[in-house]
Every structure is written in structure tokens, then in C-alpha cells.
Chains A and B, each alone.
Chain A
Amino acid sequence: MSEQLLPTATGRETWAAVRGLLRGRLLKTGGAFAVLVAATSAGLLTAPLLGRIVDLVADGHPASALTTPIVLLVLVALVQGGLTALGVALVAGVGEEMLARLREQFVARALRLPLERIERAGSGDLSARVTADVSIVAEAVRRALPQLARSGLTIVLTLVALAVLDWRFLLAALLAVPVQAHTVRWYARRAIPLYAEQRVSVGAQQQQLLDTVGGAATVRTFRLADRHVDLVTERSTATVTLTLRAVRLMTRFFGRLNLAEYIGLSAVLVTGFVLVRADAATIGTATAAALYFHNLFNPINVALSLVDDAQVAAAGLARLVGVASLPATPETAAAEVTGGSVKAAGLGHAYLPGHPVLHDVDLHIEPGERVALVGASGAGKTTVAKLVAGIHQPTSGTVHLGGVRLDELGPSATGGTVALITQEVHVFAGRLDEDLRLARPGATGDELRAALDRVGALRWADALPDGLSTVVGEGGHALTVTQAQQLALARLVLADPPIAVLDEATADAGSAGARVLEEAATAALAGRTALVVAHRLTQAATADRVIVLEGGRVVESGTHDDLVAAAGRYATLWAAWSTTRPRNVPPESAQ
């Protein structure tokens, strides 16, 4: 099983995608940044105004002379506050819009990926992207982007302001830059792999806890508590150790930045000293310069500490863009499907080249016929089901549905023609009626109720706390496995395709639930061409025809009665099932 991860975009492709998202929002983005620049510039007037006050006092002006700069200070504060609010809101708006657009593109693309492709990548890949990567990028847009924009602007504009006071102040302040640049490089080199390792470790710890806690009943049954506590302890210790290593690194990072702060501040103060002594600057100017630099401490720390957030977000973005910009499967001009016949000829399939699991399978199902597929595990039943449902492309041979070749049908026409229900159940988080409407978006309440009624689910659905409006699935009302599978069958009724494939759709519910589901399945399949992978032979006994697979080949085909009479493989199976032969030994002789 060679895994082939979904694509990750290169730096250039990621940029292209971001530019694509920006297109049409250029004015808005430019406007937002202009407002932030104005806000930051206004804020920078505070220091020279304070310097002016110092100068006025130092020159022995009366207290009344201070009124103008003080009033200006108040004005600056109000303007800066107002503009910052506006600018940040605008930047956040643009960022959020782009983020929403990206995640919509991503989900639209991800949901239309061929299942084959997702399975090759391992199902964890896509779900990690949709959860972890989306939230990392969102977090960056929400928190880091506005902070970075404000800090960056403050730094740049403060340096400009220092130069305006006197270009020599700027030179003095820039003395800190080599130390900072070196520190960031030093940090990034160590932090990126360390944080990556830490995230993996946190994930492993979470996984272990889910495994242990989710399986608590099994742990108790097999008395594995000590081992599982050890496993949790081990994972947790690993995570703590890595986290503390990251903390050490971070404290060293900020320690080095402190050094840069000291170098810059001293240089600015010395410059002020020299300039004042040479009468090239006033004490007020020197004060303003020192205050400017002191006010840079925070924005510089914020901007530099966002370096690794930015790296992580960029990696997440690349993984989202990689999927979002995959070319879509072309929709072929769908030939008209007529009726619900299924015709497969010479089907062969190999998941791994050289390891065929099906050989030359021919299958012909009349419209409205119900065929049961029987055989041992590994006989190829599920593969046949997937090929007929169009989930996989056969390695050799063809499948015709309603007279049209499957590969000429196009993805959405295939979806409308054939449905596949497996034992894998999923209840979509949200209201029950919305879950059902995924199968038929415009369905009326009556249609939903009729579908539930047909599969025998209306009674319990009505008995839910809020009826069909009850929130079910993850985080909502928990449905039993049987109920969830009934829901899947109700979706089938609503989607109403002419052909349905059921792959052990009644398997996981326990023996009592299985019977309920068999009745539901019979009701849901009425009027449809059906291929049913059966492991309970009662399903086979009630089918129109039974096909027995063995080692990837069809070995028997006929009605239940014919096959039982033929005394072949199926007859042996049926005997084992419905046995009335005395094959059990009394307890006394069992010793």
C-alpha cells in the first residue's frame, strides 16, 4: 500500500493563488493599508510632541505655552485611535474574505476528488488539511496578520520618524539590526524543526488519549490499565519535554533581542548626547529619539516572534492551495441513461499492479432485479460493488449502467444513476432534516417524513427531543449504529437513483439490529435495480438471484432455490446457516 500524499503547492503557486484571491480586492486592500499607515503616522507624532514639551520647559517658557502641544497630543490620540480601529477592521475584513474564499475552494475541490485518489493518500491526509491547516491559516489571518501589519508599519514609520529628527538617530538605531537579523536566523533554524516535532508529539499524545479513553471499557475488560497509563505517561512526557525545549529556545531568543535593544538604545542616547553637545539637536529632540526607540521594543518583539507562526501558516497555506488548485474532473456531456440495467463485461481489477483481485467477471442485472453477491472475505465482493458504483475504475473490462459506459457518464451523472451504501456510517453534524436534504436539496418536510417512514425510522425520529430538527452527529444527539444506517437508507430513498449497491450495509449493527436493517433495506430497494453484498444468507435467500464469488471469479449464479438444489458451494453455505443437522456434542463428552 504505497501512500501518495495529496499535492502541496510550491511557493510560487501559493503566491499565485494568494494573488488570485487578492484580485478584485486590490482597492479594498490598498485602502485598508493606507488607513493603517495614516493611523501609525498619527501615533508617531506623540513622541515629538512630548519632546516639544520638554524643549519648551528646558527653554524656560511659561506653563501656558504647553497648551498647544497638549491639545495636539489629545487630538493625535483620538485620530490614532479612530484610524486604527478603522484600519484593523478593514484589514481583518479583507483577510477574512480571502480566507473564506480559499476554504470554500478547498472544500469544493476536496469533496469532488475521486475517492481512489483520497484513498491513495490515506484518509488522514485530507482530514488533517481540512482541520489543522485551515485553522492554522485562519488563526494567522485573524491574529498574526493584523498584529504583523501594525507592528511592521510602526517599525518602518518609527525609523522614518527617527530619520526626520536627525538622520544620525536612524543610523544609531540601525546598529541593533545585525544582532536582530542574526538572532532571527539563529532562532528560525532551530525553532522550525523543533516546533514541527512538538506538533507531531502533541498529535500523538492526543491520539493515544483518544485511543485509551475511547477504549476504556476494553482496557478494563482485558486489564490493560497499567500499560495504557504507561503509554499515556510516555507520550505526555515526550510532549512536555519537547515543549520545555521550545520554551528554552524562545527565552534565549528574547534574551538575544534584549541585547539588541540595549545596543540600539545606548547608541541613540549617545547620539543624542553628541548632537546636543554640538548644538545640532535640542534636548527635546534627543528625548523624542530615545522615546521612539523605547517604543519600538514591543512591535519588534511582536513582529519577530511571529516569524515562526508565519512559516507554519505558509506551510499550511501551501497544503490548502495544493488541493484547491487541482484540476477538476471534466464533466463529460452525459449520454442519456435509460432504465436501470447493469452490465459488466470482463471485469478485472488490481489495487496493486500484479496482484489482481478480480478476474474476468461478467455481470448482467435486469432493471428492477435484486442480486445478492455471496462469498468469503477476500473473494472480491466489495471490489465488484465499488466498480459497479463507479468508485474505482476497473483495470480491465467495462461497466454499463442504463446502457451508458460508466467512464462516459461523468461524475455528477454517475452520482444520479447509482448509489453505494456501505457499512461505514456517518451522521452529518447538524439538524437531522438537513442531513437528509443532502440527498435531495429541495425536499419538503413531507418527503423527508415519507422517506424515514419507508425505512422504519419515522417513529424514533419523531421521538427525538426536537423531532426532525434535532441536532445529531458529532456534538449533537447520538444515534445508534442501527439508526445511523437507517438514515443512510432514507438518504438512498431521497436520492432515488435507479441503481443501488449495498455493501454489507447491515453488518455492524449486531444481530437484532441487522434484522431491522434488512427490512429497511428491502423497503429502500423496492423499485430499484440492486446489487447487495450479503453476509447474512437471509439476504441472499430473498434476492431474485444469487451470485457466488470465489477468488475473484464468479463460480455460481442462479436463484436461491436453484443453487440450493444444485448442491454446490452455495448449498453448503446455506446448510451451515440453516443447519438442522445434529453436529453438536453433548457437554459431558466435551472434556
Chain B
Amino acid sequence: MRGDRGTVLGRAIGGQRRHVGQAALLAAGHQAGEALVPVLIGVVIDSAVATGSVTRLVLWLAVLGAVFAALSTSYRFGARAAERASEWAGHDLRVRLTRRILDPRGGAETGRLAGELTNIATGDARRVGGVNVVLPSAIAALTGLLVSAAALLWISVPLGLVVLLGAPPLLWLGHLLGRPLERRSAVEQERAAHASGVAADLVAGLRVLKGIGAERAAVDRYRRTSQESLAATVRAARAQAAHDGAILALTGVFIAVVALVGGRLAASGEISVGDLVAAVGLALFLLSPLQLFAWVNAELAQGRASAKRIAAVLAAPPAVAGGEAPLPDPVRGHVCLSGVHHGPLSGVDLDVAPGELLGVVAPDPAAATALLSALARDADPPQGTVTLDGTPLSTLDPADLRAAILVAAHHTTLFAGPLMANVTPVRAAGDGPVARAMAAATADEVARGLPDGADTVLGERAQSLSGGQRQRVALARALAADPPVLVLHDPTTAVDAVTEARIAAGIREMRAGRTTIVVTTSPALLAATDRVAVLDGGTVTVVGRHTDLVAADPTYRAAVLA
């Protein structure tokens, strides 16, 4: 894992090394310039103000101007190069992560929620990219440190040593003071963030709250959470303020010490007044590169943690292996399961004839899911085989396989965008099949009820549609894809009975001559099938026609008509 994390970080930096190098060089120039400003103030005081020489005043102000021009230009282009490197590195990671998550072999989502993966692709990718801003800053801080150290030692060795040896312990002390506070404030800030999380959650569940008249209870609960958060935030803010105050006091004392040593050296004539001014300015300046190091450390730690999360996703083992066997051409659609053991399935044998419309009744939802995952090759069954026209699915490339067998899951996603774009996702299969699919799924009616018809833009997860409308559009999409083998899972659970009966007829007509498997307990759909297989206790217990089963099998009747 360490190696993977290293690769992620290495690629993020290496891929942008030109920008990073440029940024480091320019940032170093900027820091050096910032360090020179107090030195030059000292020089102006010393050689112009103290002597009254106009020529020197003009000369040194010109030098100061040149330094300002240089530091400003380096900052401008350095910061741009660093941000460019950071943003594009983050972008590359985002795209790579997306590609990995969508890989036909799957596996990246195992154990991760969609929100978490999205955060990895946004926040973590950005933080790893951000290392490209941190690195030039670190190099620049080092440069600033070296330049001011050299300047201080050049002014006076003892004074330089006081500053150089005094600054690190000072910062270390500040860090020590800050550590317990930081820990505490992190915990408390988390609790503070909780208040806004609770508010968002209550608003998200507003309809549910209103449905049971629980607004008052919710408001009371929110007030409590908000007050708890307030107490936590105020505690965190106090800790932070105490820490900042302590640092300020320590810095002031440090300056006093530098002034004491510098003043004595100047009083004894070992350094000039201007040197003293410059030394005080440098002592103040020195604290910023040192503080920068602390920031660099924290950012790198975050970058490493993010890189680790990214590496874990990129290196997630695929759920199924690839395969090279060619698809049968043309696909006749003969699907055969023999002795399949998979989760709750224990020895399923099922032969689906080409062109058949088969209903599968599985009272145990887990068994239905297992059957679908074997057909979709989301996972390979540990025992037994599933074949398509005699070719085992496990020897096919998952992407090829899904062109032949389309498994339309019950919980499916409609994407943001126009309704029609959802139904004709890839290649326009010609208007004919799409229009027929829309009609068969009664999605044409859904479209007619929308403001812009089939061109109406659906929001996130098409939540503007009712559950039944979503199912009808999703079914139209599956039918429009027109695959040789189509597997539907509970396609009409949220559709009213009138429409469901029409859909059942539509599916039958649209899929005539091509293999279709409908996993459902809906009598309206089952009545339209050629045969029904009942999957119970892990095996196929009975196969027959719906009407016969309803008439003769009390268990079946109970399962579908209860």
C-alpha cells in the first residue's frame, strides 16, 4: 500500500514536474525578495537617513524598487505555475478514479458509498494535487531561511547565532503549546460541523416531518444540537485564541531578546544602527518561513493520507476477471444455468430457450439478487456455470457480455439530463425501436405529461419524477437497448395496476423472438410470460405456465396473488 501511495503522489508531482520546478524557482525568488526588504530598510536608514546623502537615498530606493519588481513578478508567475500544476494533477487523478470506478470488471465500489467515492475524486484528488503548491512553498521557505540566515551572519555572527538558534526552539514551543489545543479543537470543530449536517438532514426529510406533524419536535431537536455545537465552537475558539495570544507574546519576547543583543552590539560599536534595524526586521521575517514549514508538514501529511485513499480505490481488485472468448455471432440467446451455487442459490439448473419470455418467481429477494448478479457477471458463482449459446460467461469480457445480456436491475439510476438522453443512452438504435420502447413501457405517456415532453431535463436521479414514472422511463431504456437477452427485475412495482397490465403486453410484443427473463411476483407480468420458474430454497422447485401454476399450486398462488 505504501508503494501505491508513493506512486500516486509521485505521478501527481512527476506529471507536472516542469510547472513544479518553475514554481519552486520563482517562489524561492519571491521569498528571497521578501527577506531583502527589511535589510534594505536598514540600509536606507543607515546610509541615507543617518548620513543625509541624497544620492544614496535615490540609489537605494531604486534598488528597493528593483527588489519589489522582482519579488512581485516571481510571486505572480510562481503562484500561477504552482496552481496550474496542482489543478491539473488533481484533474488527472479525478479522471483516472472515474475510469477505475466505471471499469466493466467493477470492484471499486465494494465497501464504499457513492458519497465517499465522490469525496475521494474531489477532495482527495485536490489535496494530492495541492502537494504541487506545497512543494515549491517548502523550497521557497528554505531559500528564505538561508538568505536571512546568511544576511544575519554577515551583519554579525553572534547576533546571527542568537536569531538562528533562538527561532527554532521558539516555534517548537509554539507547536508544543498548540498541539493539545489543535487536537481538542479538531474534535470540537467536528461537533460544530454537526449542527449544519443535522439542519441539512432535517430539510432533506421535510416531507416526512410534515407528514407526521413533527416540525415542532424537529425544531426543538435542532435547537439542542445547535446549542451543543455553539458551546463546542466557543470552546474551540477560546483554545485557538489562547494559542494565538501565546504565540504573539513569545514572538514579542523573542524580538526583545534580539533587540537586547543587537542593541548591546551596536552600543559597543560592533554593528551599525542600520545593521540593528535590519537584524530586527530579519528576526521578524524569519518566523514566516519557519511557520511555513509547519504548514508544509501538515499539508504533506494530508496529501499522503489522501494519496492512500486514492491508491486503495485505484488498486481495488476487480469483482470479476476479464475474459477473451469471442461472443457468439449472432447471439441466439440460449441461456443455461447448471448447478449454480451463489450466495443463497444452491444448485440452480435452468434452461432458457432462445426467444423465450420466462418469468422467475423468487420469494427470497436475496435469491433474486444472486441470480441477477450471476447473469450480469457482477460476480462469478463459485460453483456451477452460466452459459450463453454454450459459451461460459466467465470466459467472456464483461463489457462484451453486457452487450449480449442486459440485466436491468430494480434499483437503477436515471441520469441528470433530458429524458430522451436516458432512453437512448449510447447509439441511436434508430427512431423505430426507441419509439416502440417508449410506447411499450408507457414512458411516452410520462413524457407527454412533462413541460417539454421527452426533451424535459430531469434533475439529479430524476427525482422530479414519481417512482412509477422513473420505473417506466428506466424500462423504456432497457427495451430501447434491444439486447439479444434482456433480464428485468421487478420493473413495475411502483406502477399502478392499469398501466402495469399494458406494460406487460408491451414487453411481450417488443421482445417477441428474443430471450427475456422477468424476475417478479407481479401476476400481471407473469401472466404475459411463456413459462414461469419458481426459485425457492436455493433451487428451481417448479416450472410451468402461470395459469396452470395459479390453478394447481397453492404455494405459487400464495406467492403471487397474496
Contacts and interface: CB of A to CB of B under 8 A. Distances in A.
A355 B102 CA distance: 43
20 contacts: A63-B267, A69-B259, A70-B263, A115-B207, A142-B237, A207-B460, A219-B102, A222-B481, A272-B45, A290-B44, A291-B280, A294-B281, A377-B445, A377-B495, A378-B445, A420-B210, A475-B197, A577-B523, A579-B524, A590-B513
B256 A74 contact: yes
B310 interface: no
B65 A131 contact: no
Contact of A104 (B208, B226, B245, B469): B226
B65 A223 contact: no
A580 B240 CA distance: 75
A508 B469 CA distance: 12
Interface stretch (A46-54, A158-166, A340-348, A396-404): A46-54
B529 A110 contact: no
A308 interface: no
B102 A220 contact: yes
B303 interface: no
A481 to B, nearest CB: 8
A583 interface: yes
Interface string A366-400: 00000000111111001000000101000000000
B79 A389 contact: no
Most A CB within 10 A of own CB, among B52, B94, B109, B520: B94
Given A74-B256, A509-B493, A225 B103 contact: yes
A89 B44 contact: no
- Closest 5 interchain pairs by CB? A415-B213, A77-B252, A81-B249, A85-B245, A215-B413
B248 interface: yes
A421 interface: yes
A244 B83 contact: yes
A266 B91 contact: no
Contacts of B101: 212-213, 216
B217 A437 contact: yes
A248 B216 CA distance: 49
Contacts of B18: none
Interface stretch (B117-125, B160-168, B322-330): B117-125
B72 A587 contact: no
Given A100-B227, A255-B76, A428 B530 contact: no
B213 A97 contact: no
Given A46-B252, A212-B102, A412 B201 contact: no
B354 to A, nearest CB: 9
Interface in B231-280: 233-234, 237-238, 240-242, 244-253, 255-256, 259-260, 263-264, 266-268, 273, 276-277, 280
Interface string A571-585: 001001111111111
Contact of A254 (B75, B214, B267, B426): B75
A507 interface: yes
A576 B524 contact: yes
A205 B358 CA distance: 42
Contacts of B415: 211-212, 215, 218
Nearest to B468: A377
A561 interface: no
B402 to A, nearest CB: 6
A248 B459 CA distance: 34
Interface string B85-110: 00110110011001101111010110
A130 B562 CA distance: 45
Given A57-B273, A111-B219, A210-B115, A377 B65 contact: no
A330 to B, nearest CB: 15
B178 interface: no
A96 B115 CA distance: 29
A227 B91 contact: no
Given A57-B276, A416-B213, A535-B496, A584 B264 contact: no
Nearest to B222: A107
Nearest to A1: B451
Interface in B44-61: 44-45, 48-50, 52, 57, 61
Most A CB within 10 A of own CB, among B73, B241, B246, B356: B241
Most A CB within 10 A of own CB, among B38, B48, B95, B206: B206
B556 interface: no
Contacts of A77: 248-253, 255-256
Contacts of A214: 114, 118, 413, 461
B416 interface: yes
B199 interface: yes
A167 interface: no
Contacts of B449: 378
A391 B79 CA distance: 55
Interface stretch (B7-15, B148-156, B341-349, B545-553): B545-553
Contacts of B537: none
Nearest to B398: A220
Given A273-B48, A497-B212, 4 more contacts: A78-B252, A96-B233, A251-B77, A508-B494
Contact of A243 (B77, B83, B212, B227): B83
Interface residues of A, number: 181
B252 A111 contact: no
Contact of B71 (A73, A258, A492, A587): A258
A423 B467 contact: yes
B1 interface: no
B207 A243 contact: no
Nearest to A437: B217
Interface string A231-261: 0110011001001100110111011001101
A53 B276 contact: yes
A266 B416 CA distance: 58
Contacts of A389: 211
A475 B402 CA distance: 33
A126 B201 contact: no
Contacts of B561: 538, 578
A31 interface: no
A233 B493 contact: no
A62 B266 CA distance: 10
Contacts of B203: 107, 110-111, 126-127, 130
A453 interface: no
B159 interface: no
B175 interface: no
B527 interface: yes
B493 A269 contact: no
A434 interface: yes
A429 B196 CA distance: 12
Contact of A535 (B104, B108, B468, B477): B468
B392 interface: no
A474 B477 CA distance: 30
A294 B280 contact: no
B407 interface: yes
Interface string A515-554: 1000000000000000000011110000000000000000
